Amino acid sequence: MLIFEHSVPERMAYAQMPAEALEADDLPVHLLRRDKPLLPEASEMDVVRHYTRLSQKNFSIDTHFYPLGSCTMKYNPRACNSLAMLPGFLNRHPFAPVQTGQGYLASMYELQEILCDVTGMAGVSLAPMAGAQGEFAGVAMIRAYHDARGDHARREIIIPTAAHGTNPATAVMCGYSVREIPTDATGNVDLAALQAAVGPQTAGLMLTNPSTLGVFEQQIQRIQKIVHDAGGLLYYDGANLNAILGRVKPGDMGFDVIHINLHKTFSTPHGGGGPGAGPVGVSTRLLPYLPIPLVAYCDGNYRLLTEADRPHSIGRLSANNGNAGVLLRAYIYARMLGAEGMHRVAEFATLNANYLLAKLRQAGFDIAFPTRRASHEFIVTLKHLKDETGVTAMDFAKRLLDYGYHAPTTYFPMLVPECLLIEPTETESMATLDGFVAAMTAILAEARSNPELVKGAPYTQPVRRLDDVKAARELDLVWRHK
Amino acid sequence: MLIFEHSVPERMAYAQMPAEALEADDLPVHLLRRDKPLLPEASEMDVVRHYTRLSQKNFSIDTHFYPLGSCTMKYNPRACNSLAMLPGFLNRHPFAPVQTGQGYLASMYELQEILCDVTGMAGVSLAPMAGAQGEFAGVAMIRAYHDARGDHARREIIIPTAAHGTNPATAVMCGYSVREIPTDATGNVDLAALQAAVGPQTAGLMLTNPSTLGVFEQQIQRIQKIVHDAGGLLYYDGANLNAILGRVKPGDMGFDVIHINLHKTFSTPHGGGGPGAGPVGVSTRLLPYLPIPLVAYCDGNYRLLTEADRPHSIGRLSANNGNAGVLLRAYIYARMLGAEGMHRVAEFATLNANYLLAKLRQAGFDIAFPTRRASHEFIVTLKHLKDETGVTAMDFAKRLLDYGYHAPTTYFPMLVPECLLIEPTETESMATLDGFVAAMTAILAEARSNPELVKGAPYTQPVRRLDDVKAARELDLVWRHK
Amino acid sequence: MPFIPHTDAEVEAMLAVIGAPNIDALFDEIPVELGSGKLVSVPDALNEMEITRLMHERAEQDSRQLNFIGAGAYEHHIPAAVWQIATRGEFYSAYTPYQAEASQGTLQLIYEYQTMMASLTGMDVSNASLYDGGSALAEAVLMAVRAHKNATRILMPRTVSPLYRAVVRNIVKNQHIELMELDYDPVSGTTPVPEIAVGDFAALVIPQPNFFGALEDVDALTDWAHAHGALAIGLVNPTALGLLKPPGVWGERGADMAAGDGQPLGAPLSNGGPYYGFLTCKQALVRQMPGRIVGRTLDLDGKPGFALTLQAREQHIRRSKATSNICTNQGLVVTASTIYMSLLGPTGLRRVASAAHANILQLAEQLCAIRGVTRAFRSPCFHEMVIQLNRPASAVLGELAAAGILGGYDLCADYPELGNAMLVCATETKTAADLGRYAEQLNLCMQEGSDADI
Amino acid sequence: MPFIPHTDAEVEAMLAVIGAPNIDALFDEIPVELGSGKLVSVPDALNEMEITRLMHERAEQDSRQLNFIGAGAYEHHIPAAVWQIATRGEFYSAYTPYQAEASQGTLQLIYEYQTMMASLTGMDVSNASLYDGGSALAEAVLMAVRAHKNATRILMPRTVSPLYRAVVRNIVKNQHIELMELDYDPVSGTTPVPEIAVGDFAALVIPQPNFFGALEDVDALTDWAHAHGALAIGLVNPTALGLLKPPGVWGERGADMAAGDGQPLGAPLSNGGPYYGFLTCKQALVRQMPGRIVGRTLDLDGKPGFALTLQAREQHIRRSKATSNICTNQGLVVTASTIYMSLLGPTGLRRVASAAHANILQLAEQLCAIRGVTRAFRSPCFHEMVIQLNRPASAVLGELAAAGILGGYDLCADYPELGNAMLVCATETKTAADLGRYAEQLNLCMQEGSDADI
Ligand SMILES: Cc1ncc(COP(=O)(O)O)c(C=O)c1O
Ligand SMILES: Cc1ncc(COP(=O)(O)O)c(C=O)c1O
C-alpha cells in the first residue's frame, strides 16, 4: 500500500502543525498556490507505521550479509550515527561564524590530515559529495593544471574498459573525450595499448586500483611512467581503497590525484543510495586547484578557506560545505580504528576475499582470474553454467535472496560474461562466509537439477521477479488517484 | 539462531572494550570469578544484526493494529522518546544535588499537577513503577490509614470477580484477605452481594471503572456510599482511565485512591513488557501516606521530599526515583495533548470502540453486553461459534495474526467464556477499524467453512502455534552448549 | 487533535453506524451528577516544535558534571547500538508478549537474557525482570519466606544499601516478616559471621560488594546461612560479577538466589530510572519465582520457539495466590541490557570491572594523600569506597558541586557513627585527568575549608 | 581490532584454506618498491567510550545560538519521527537498490518521494535526488542545453544565490556553456523581464523566492523565456511551495523544469550537509533527466512492485554518453524528507510557510523601526528580506553574535552595490519573544555602534 492510499482529505498529524498564521494577504494573488499538492494527509501514527513497515522490506548491512562488489558494504558503527547527530553538530548553520563551529572544524581538519596520510597525498579537500563528484573535481583539476600551463592540446582522458561508468561520464562532463584501452587476460592494463594511446593529446589516465576486476595492477609503476612521460596526469579512482588501506599509498605509486569514497572505505552508511562523500587528495602540483572549502588552522582557530584564499581553486562544487554530516561519521570511524586498526582493514578484507575465493573454487565455481590473488573482491563467472543450464548470473543472484544473502554485483565489470563481483569486507566473520558458500553451492546444485526453480527466483521476497522492461516501456513514475 | 550460536571463543567487539587494566591483585583470590560467564563472544556487527533481525519478529504499535483489550495500545509519539533521552536527562545521577536537576524536577512537579487535575484527587505521587506497584501503594495507604486510626479489625479487601489479577494479588501482598463479589448480567457490580459483603472487617473495595468488561459502572455512587458507610475506603484501578479522560474524574466519584497506568493512558511505550509507571492519586485523607519521593516547589526551587518531610508516608518503593524516564515521556505527551486534546482522548477512544462494536455486531458477532454502551473497549464472545465449529477464541486470535492484526486480549476477563476483549484506542483510523472488521468477518466464514484452517493458525509468523504445555512441563529456561 | 486521525466526515459516518447523534451520547451511561470532568489546570497543547524547545531548555538546565556518585546507580559507557536498537519501534512499542507467535523477537531476547543473567550470577534460572534492585530484593525476601515455609525472619546486614533496606521494609512489612539488622565490623566495613547460635531465619542477605563498596566474605556467610537452615540471598552488582565470584558458587553449596539492579548493564543514570531488578535462583526454587519467565518449546511443525511459561505462578492466573502482584516489568531496559551484555561479552565486562576497580584504587591513593581525608575501612573494595573528612561532608560536597564535581554520596544521615563520611565511586568512565581533577579540587576544599573553620 | 570479528584460530584456518602462510602473503602482488603504506599521522585508536566523550565535548563547543541566517539553508522544526525512522538500519545501511526485490522499502519510498516532489513543483516527473541545490541547478542547466540542442547560453539572474551561481559555473564551465547574468531592479530587488530582443538561449533560470527573499514575477519571466525559444527553469524553495504557485503552472505553459535544495524538508542545518538537490521536469524531458528514477511495474505474479528504471540514461550503462556522472545520490536525506512531507501533509507545509512568512513580516516591522535600519527592497517576500544598515554589517553581525544571535548573512562581498546590507531570515521556529530579542539587541548595537562611530 502506498502512503497516498492511507491519505484521507483533511486528516492531519496535528502535533506537527504550527498554529494557523494570518492569511498572507500581502502576497500578490497570482503568485499563490491554488491546488493542494499531493502530499499525504495522514496521522502521525499512519506515517510512522507505514515507513517502519516499508523499511522492513529492505535488505541491509544491519540485517544481511551484503557482498556487493565495488560497494564495500561493511558494518557502519552505530556510534558514528549517534555522535554525528549530536544537537551541537546538527543545529549549526553552515554560515554561522567560525567561532561557533570549532568542534566541527577541528574534526574536519583532522580528517583532512588523516586522509592525506592514508592516500600519501600532499593535500585533501573534503568538498566533493560523492565519488563521482570527487572524480569531477579531480579531472577538473587536471584540466586546470594543463590550462594554467597553456597546454590546451590535451583533450583526451584514457580509461581502461573495466572502469566504473562514472569515470568516462566524468571525463565528458569536464569537456574531455574518452579513449578506452583494454585489459589483458590476467586483468592488468594492456601496456602496449596504453603506450599506443598516449600522446600530446593525453590529459590523463583514470585508473582504479585494485581494479574493478578485483586484482592489483602489477605494472602500476610502468603505467605511471608511460603516462607521465607523455605529459599526462594520473587519476586514481580510490573506490577500492579498502583493499590497500594502510598497505600501500596511491601517492607512493606516483599518482597525482585520487578520490576516496568515504561511504565505502570509511564506512559511512550508504543510506539506500547516499549520501556519500568523495574527498580528493592531490600531489603537490595540483594543490592550488583543490576545490573549496578547505579547513585551515591558524592562530589557534580553525576556519574555512574560500576563493579569496585560494584564487586558483576550481571553486566550490556545493553551495555549502559538502556532506558535512557524512564527513563527521568518517572522522569518528577513523578515530575509532586508529592507525593500527586502519592497517588491519585491508589485511582482513583481503583475507576474507581470498578465503571466499578459495572456498568457492573448491565448490566448483569458475574464478574469472584464477591465477591472481584476490584483492578485497573477486569475480566468479557463470558463463559455463549458463551454457549448460540456461541459468544466468541474474537468476543466481535472485536465488541468493531466497537464501537470505544479498546478491553480489552482477554484470559489472562488463567485460567478464555472467559475472558476480563478490566483496565480503573485513567485518564479516568466517561463519558468515561459510554460510554464503553453502548457499552458493546449494544453488549450483539447484541450477543443474532444477534450473526452472532458479530462474523463477526469488520466492521469499515482498515481490517476485520484477518486470524491468515493462518498467521502462510503460513509465509509471508518479502515483495518481485512480 | 540464538546470539550464543553466533558466539566464538575470543571474539570481541573491540570498540566496546576499555583497555586491559592491571590485574586486580589486591583482591583476595577466593573472591574472584574463575569461570567465564556465558555472555556472547560476538562482533559488534553480529550483535547489531542479530537484534535488529530479532526485532523484526515482533508485532508492535509501530507496525500493526494492536487492539489488546485492557492494554491501551495507542501511538507512542516519537518525540516523547527523543526528548526524554536528551543527554541532560539521561546523564543525571539520581542523587545529584537538586540544583543540577531543576529541568527534570519542574517537569515532574507539573506532571503531579496534571495528574491531580485528571483524577480529581488532592495529591499524586509519581513513585510507583507500574500499575501493580501503584495498587500496592494504594492499598498500603488504605492500611496505613486504618492503622493510624487504630482500626485494626479491617482485614478484608472486596474485589469484583471481573477484576484484573493484580488487584487480589496486591491485596494479599498488603496483608489483606480478599473477598470476591460477583458481577450482574449487565456488567455492573452485584449491589446486593456488595451490601452483604461489607462490614467492620472491610478495609476497602478495589474497583476498575470502566470495568474490565468494558462498561461504565452505572451504580458507582451507590457503591461508593455502601463502602464508605461501612467504614471502608475506595480504590480505583485506573488502568482504564483512557475511557474517561477529561469526561469524569474518579475524585468526583468519591474515590479515595487511584493508580494510573501511564504506559496506557499517557502513551508511554510498553517496551515489550515495561517499564511502566503507576502514579497514585489520593483524596485529602490519604495525603499524609503518599509514597516518597514527592516533588515540592518552594522558594523558586524544586526539590524531592523524603521521609524527613513526610513522616507518615508509606515510604519509598524504589531505591531511586521510580521510573523517571517513563514519567518524562508521560509529561511530554500530556503537554502535547493539552487540556483540549486530553478531553478528546476519551471521546475518540469511545467512538472507536462503539463503532467497532456496531460493525462487528452487524457482521454477526456476539457481544457480551449487548445492551450496554462500550466504553473504550468491549467484549465479543465466541461461545456459540465454539459450540458450533470447535473454533476457540484462541484459534480465532491466532488466525488474526495471519491477517496482519494483533489479537485482542483472550480469556480475560475470565467470566465471559471464549472472550475477546477489544480495545482499538483513539489513535486508530476508521480505515484500520474497517480492515479489522473485514478480517474478523473473513475468519468467521473460515471457522464455519474450514474450522481446521483456523485451528492450525498462524501460518505466516516466524513460528507456527507453540506448544505451551511442553514449555511448562519440560522447562527449558536457559540455553546450554550442546 | 494531536494523535487522533479522525476527520469530521469520518466521525459523522461512524456515529451513523453506531446510531448515536453525537459523541457525547456515547457517554450517556455515566451519571450526570458526576460532573463534567473538565480539566482546569492542564495547560494548553504545545505542538512538537514547542515542546521540543521547552525540553531542550530543561535538559540543558540539568547540567553535566563530573560524577563520582554511585550508591546504587553507576555511570558506565553505554554503546550507541544499545538504545538505537532497543528503541526500534518493534521493541519499543510492543506489549508484553502474550501472543507468542507474533512476539518471537521479544521472547527470544528474554530467553537470551535469562541465560546470560543466570550464568552471570551462577544460578540456574532467571526471571524476565522486576522493577529495580530494591524491589527485587524485596521479592527475593518474600520468595525465601515462601520457600522456607517455617520462618519469617530475615537477616539484613547494615552493609546493604539503606535505600534497599527501606524498600524491602516498606514492601514486606504488612506480611509479618521481620527484618533483623546485622551490624558491620567498624574496621573492615564488612559483615562478620553472625554470632547467633540457632534461630528461625528464612534467609540471610549477602551484599557483594556491599554498600560501602567493600567485599564481604561471601563464602563464610553463605555457609553460615546454610548451616543454620536459612537461605542465602546474594545481592550483587552485575558489573562486579565480571570479576567476582558469582553467588551460585559462594561457599560450599552456593547461594540460593541472587538479586540486584541491572542498571549498570546498559541503563543510563536517567534521574533514577527506569532501571530493572534481576532475580535468579537455583532450579529447586523456580516455582517460587515471581515475575515472567520465558521458556523454549516447539511449534506445530517441531520448530523451536519461545513462549511465556510457568504462568500459574502469576497474578493473571493465580490471582490472590500468585507469587507476586507484578505484571508489567521493565522489559525495554532488559532489552537494552541484553544488547549491552552481548556487545561487551565476558571479556568486555571483565575489563569494565577491572578498569573501574583500578580507578578507585588510584583515586583512593590520591584522595587519601590529602590532609584531613582518610579511608574509612580496611577491606578490599570493588569500585566504591568510604572516605572520612575532618570537615562536614555536606559542606565539602557543596563546594565540589560548585566546581562541577559530584564528589560522592553523603553517609551522615544513614551512618552517623561514621562521622563526616562519604561514599565515592569511580567507574571505567573516569580518566586519569578526571581523577586528578577531583583530587586537586578536594585538596582545595579541604585547605580552604579548614582555614574557614578556624 | 575494531569491527573485525576474526579470532586467531579462524585466521589460521582461513589461511590454511587459501594455502597462504600469513596475511602478508596475500599482498604479494603489490610491488615492494611501493613502500609499506605505514600510516604516520593517524592517531591511535579511541574506543567508543573515548570517542563519545571527545565528540560530546566538541559538539558542546559548537554552541546553539538564536539563528536568523538563511541564505539557502533553513532552520525548521523536524519531527522526531523523521530521523528515528530514517536511521533504522534497514534504510540507513542499505545500498542503492540494485536488487529490486530485496529493496522494495527504499524503492517504494523513492516512488512516493517522486510523486510528492513532482506534485509540489507542479511537474510530471522527479528523479531520486542530486547532491544539493547548487549541483541540481547545474544539472538542470546541462539538461536544458541537451534538450534545447541549438543553444548553449543560459540566462542567470543575479537574484540567484551567488553560491549557486558559483557552483553552476564551476560544474558547467568545461562544456562551453555560457552563463549570462541578468541584473535586478534596484527598487524591487527582482529580475525584470529581459530586454534582449532575440537570442540563442537554452534556458532562463527563475528563482522563487529569489536570494533576497523577494518574489519574482514568475509568470512574465516564464512566458518571456518560452516566447524566446528558451526553456524555463524554476529554482524554488520547497517550503515556499506550500504557499506559492508551483513552477509547473507559471505563465501560460508552465516552467519546464524545477530544481532546488530539499534541505528545508527535513534535513537539519548540520554545518551545510548532507542536504539534497531535487530536480523535476515535464514528461517530454524525462529522457534527459540525470540521476536515478524509480518506476512502478509488475512482478511475475502480476503484483505491483518498484524498480530503478530508465537506466539507459545513467553512467553505469551509458558511460561517456550518460546524462550525468552522478551515481551515489543523497538517498537517506530523501528518506527523511519523504517522511517529513508525509507528516506535514499539504496543510502542515502551508502552515509552516505562512508562519515563516508572518514572522518575517513582523520582524521586518520591528527591525525597520530601529534608527539606521531600512528595508532594501519593496517587493513582497517569503521568509527572508534584505536590510540595510548605517553601520558596517560585519561589525553589527559580530556584536549580535557576541550576544548569542546570528543576525543574518552579510551581503557586502556579493552585492557591494547594496552597501551595508544583510539577508535576514525568520522561519516558523521563531517565537514572538525571539523576534523581540533580536530587535532589542539590534537596537542596542545600532545605538552603541553609532555612538562608537562618533
Ligand atoms: C570503482 C568506482 N568508482 C567510482 C564510483 C562512484 O562513486 P559514487 O557512487 O560515490 O559517486 C564507484 C561507486 O559505485 C565505484 O565503485
Ligand atoms: C485493569 C488493570 N489493572 C491493573 C493492571 C496492572 O498494571 P501493570 O501491568 O502496570 O502492573 C493492568 C495491566 O495489565 C490492568 O489492565
Q: Provide the pLDDT for residue A421.
A: 98
Which amino acid, one-letter code, is at C217?
A: D
In angstroms, how far is the first alpha carbon of chain A from the final one?
14
> CB within 8 A of A41, min separation 6: which ones?
A7, A8, A9, A10, A11, A12, D345, D346, D347
A166-173 and A131-148 helices, crossing angle to 10°:
40
Q: Where are the domains of chain C?
A: 66-75+345-453, 80-340
Ligand 2 in reach of B261 Cβ (< 6 A): yes
Share of chain B above pLDDT 70, in %: 99
Spell out which residues of chain D touch residue C79, defining contact as CB-CB under 8 Å.
48
Q: Provide the pLDDT for residue D199.
A: 72
Q: Provide the pLDDT for residue D64.
A: 82
- Would the pLDDT of C129 be above 90? yes
Tell me the domains of chain A and their CATH numbers: 3-55 (no CATH), 79-337 (3.40.640.10), 345-468 (3.90.1150.10)
pLDDT band at A167 (very low <50, low <70, confident <90, very high): very high
pLDDT band at B24 (very low <50, low <70, confident <90, very high): low
pLDDT, tens only, B120-147: 999 999 999 999 999 999 999 999 999 9
Stretch (H or E) spanning C222:
helix C218-227
- Would the pLDDT of C445 be above 60? yes
Q: Do C49 and D87 touch (CB under 8 A)?
A: no
Classify residue D452 as exposed, middle or buried by CB count within 10 Å of its CB (0-12, 13-18, 19+): exposed
Distance A167 CA to ligand 1 centre (A): 9
Share of chain A above pLDDT 90, in %: 97
pLDDT, tens only, D160-182: 999 999 999 999 999 989 999 99
Render D274-313 in DSSP notation, one character per residue: S--EEEEE-GGGGGG--S--EEEEEBTTS-EEEEE--GGG
Facing residues of A281 across strands?
A124, A258
Q: Provide the pLDDT for residue D321.
A: 86
Distance A170 CA to ligand 1 centre (A): 11
Strands C421-425 and D294-298: unpaired
- Would the pLDDT of A188 be above 90? yes
Residues A126, A277: Cα–Cα separation, whole Å:
8
Contact A21, D351 (CB under 8 A): yes
Instruction: Among B68, B126, B159, B166, name the best residue to mutate to test ligand 2's pocket (greatest count of ligand atoms within 8 A of Cβ).
Output: B166
Q: Provide the pLDDT for residue B442.
A: 98
Distance A336 CA to ligand 1 centre (A): 25
Instruction: Give the cell for residue A324.
Output: 558535512
pLDDT, tens only, A382-429: 999 999 999 999 999 999 999 999 999 999 998 899 999 999 999 999
Supply the DSSP symbol for C67.
Answer: E
- Would the pLDDT of D453 be above 70? no
**Of the given ranges (A209-213, B20-24, C150-154), which has the lowest mean pLDDT?**
B20-24
Residues D355, D67: Cα–Cα separation, whole Å:
16
- Would the pLDDT of C453 be above 60? no
A21 touches chain B (CB under 8 A): no
- Would the pLDDT of D451 be above 70? no
What is the side-by-side order of every strand in the sheet holding B366-367? B366-367, B378-381, B419-422, B409-410
Instruction: Give the cell for residue D61.
Output: 563547543
Which amino acid, one-letter code, is at D155?
A: L
Q: Provide the pLDDT for residue D196.
A: 79
Q: Measuring from each residue's beta carbon to the nearest atom of ligand 1, which residues come in under 6 Å? A: A 70, 130-132, 164, 166, 208, 212, 237, 239, 261, 276, 278; D 327-328
Q: Provide the pLDDT for residue B96.
A: 96
B91 touches chain D (CB under 8 A): no
Q: Do B62 and A49 touch (CB under 8 A)?
A: yes
Q: Provide the pLDDT for residue A25.
A: 82
pLDDT, tens only, B143-160: 999 999 999 999 999 999
Sign of CA dihedral B58, B62, B63, B68: positive
Q: Which of B125, B146, B145 is nearest to B134 (CA)?
A: B125
In angstroms, how far is the first alpha carbon of chain C from the final one?
65
Mean pLDDT of A227-243: 97
A462 touches chain C (CB under 8 A): no
> How many whole angstroms from its chain centre is CA B315?
23
Distance A280 CA to ligand 1 centre (A): 13
pLDDT, tens only, B268-280: 999 999 999 999 9
Give the CA dihedral C81, C82, C83, C86, nearest 10 degrees: 110
Q: Provide the pLDDT for residue C235.
A: 98
pLDDT band at C143 (very low <50, low <70, confident <90, very high): very high
pLDDT, tens only, C184-200: 999 999 999 998 766 78
pLDDT, tens only, A239-263: 999 999 999 999 999 999 999 999 9
Closest residue of chain A to D118, computed from CA coordinates:
A478
Residues C78, C84: Cα–Cα separation, whole Å:
11
Sign of CA dihedral B65, B66, B71, B76: negative
**Of the given ranges (A285-299, C345-359, D197-211, D332-346), which has the lowest mean pLDDT?**
D197-211
- Would the pLDDT of D96 be above 60? yes
Q: Whose CA is nearest to atom 12 of ligand 1?
A: A239
Mean pLDDT of A189-214: 97
pLDDT band at C450 (very low <50, low <70, confident <90, very high): low
pLDDT, tens only, D265-292: 999 999 999 999 999 999 999 999 999 9
What are the Cα distances from residue A385, in Å, to A214, A362, A379? Answer: 21, 16, 15
- Would the pLDDT of B362 be above 70? yes
A371 touches chain B (CB under 8 A): no
For chain A, the average pLDDT equals 96
Q: Provide the pLDDT for residue B395.
A: 98
For chain C, the average pLDDT equals 95
Q: Do D429 and C49 touch (CB under 8 A)?
A: yes
Q: Which of B246, B286, B248, B252 is nearest to B266 (CA)?
A: B246
In the block, residue with C-alpha cell 505484571: C327
Ligand 2 in reach of C327 Cβ (< 6 A): yes
Which amino acid, one-letter code, is at B141?
A: M
B16 touches chain A (CB under 8 A): no
Contact C5, B428 (CB under 8 A): yes
Higher pLDDT, D63 or A332: A332
- Would the pLDDT of B482 be above 80? no
Q: Tell me which chains share at least 3 CB pairs under 8 Å with chain A.
A: B, C, D
pLDDT band at B12 (very low <50, low <70, confident <90, very high): very high
pLDDT band at D315 (very low <50, low <70, confident <90, very high): confident
pLDDT band at C451 (very low <50, low <70, confident <90, very high): low
Q: Is the peptide bond before A413 cis (omega within 30 degrees of 0)?
A: yes
- Would the pLDDT of A140 be above 70? yes
Quick one: which ligand is closest to A210's CA?
1
Distance A231 CA to ligand 1 centre (A): 26
Q: Provide the pLDDT for residue D320.
A: 85
Quick one: which ligand is closest to A131's CA?
1
Residues A348, A35: Cα–Cα separation, whole Å:
57
Residues D112, A54: Cα–Cα separation, whole Å:
11
Task: Show the 3-state SS of chain A.
Answer: CCHHHHCCCCCCCHHHCCCCCCCCCCCCHHHECCCCCCCCCCCHHHHHHHHHHHHCCECCCCCCECCECCCCCCCCCHHHHHHHCCHHHHCCCCCCCHHHHHHHHHHHHHHHHHHHHHHCCCEEECCCCCHHHHHHHHHHHHHHHHHHCCCCCCCEEEEECCCCCHHHHHHHHCCCEEEEECECCCCCECHHHHHHHCCCCEEEEEEECCCCCCCCCCCHHHHHHHHHHCCCEEEEEECCHHHCCCCCCHHHHCCCEEEECCCCCCCCCCCCCCCCCCCEEECHHHHHHCCECEEEEECCEEEEECCCCCCCCCCECCCCCCCHHHHHHHHHHHHHHHHHHHHHHHHHHHHHHHHHHHHHHHCCCEECCCCCCCCCCEEEECHHHHHHHCCCHHHHHHHHHHCCECCCEECCCCCCCCEEEECCCCCCCHHHHHHHHHHHHHHHHHHHHCHHHHHCCCCCCCCCCECHHHHHHCCCCCCCCC
Residues B394, B419: Cα–Cα separation, whole Å:
9
- Ligand 2 atom closest to residue B163's alpha carbon, by position in its atom list: 1
Residue D43 DSSP SS3: coil
Facing residues of D203 across strands?
D154, D231
Classify residue C77 as exposed, middle or buried by CB count within 10 Å of its CB (0-12, 13-18, 19+): buried
Select from 3.30.70.790, 3.40.50.920, 3.30.565.10, 3.90.1150.10 the CATH code of C66-75+345-453: 3.90.1150.10
Spell out which residues of chain D touch residue C84, defining contact as CB-CB under 8 Å.
87
Residues A269, C190: Cα–Cα separation, whole Å:
52
Q: Provide the pLDDT for residue D313.
A: 86
**Of the given ranges (B386-390, C208-212, C450-454), which has the lowest mean pLDDT?**
C450-454
Residues B106, B329: Cα–Cα separation, whole Å:
14
CATH architecture of the domain with residue range D80-340: 3-Layer(aba) Sandwich (3.40)
Q: Provide the pLDDT for residue C199.
A: 72
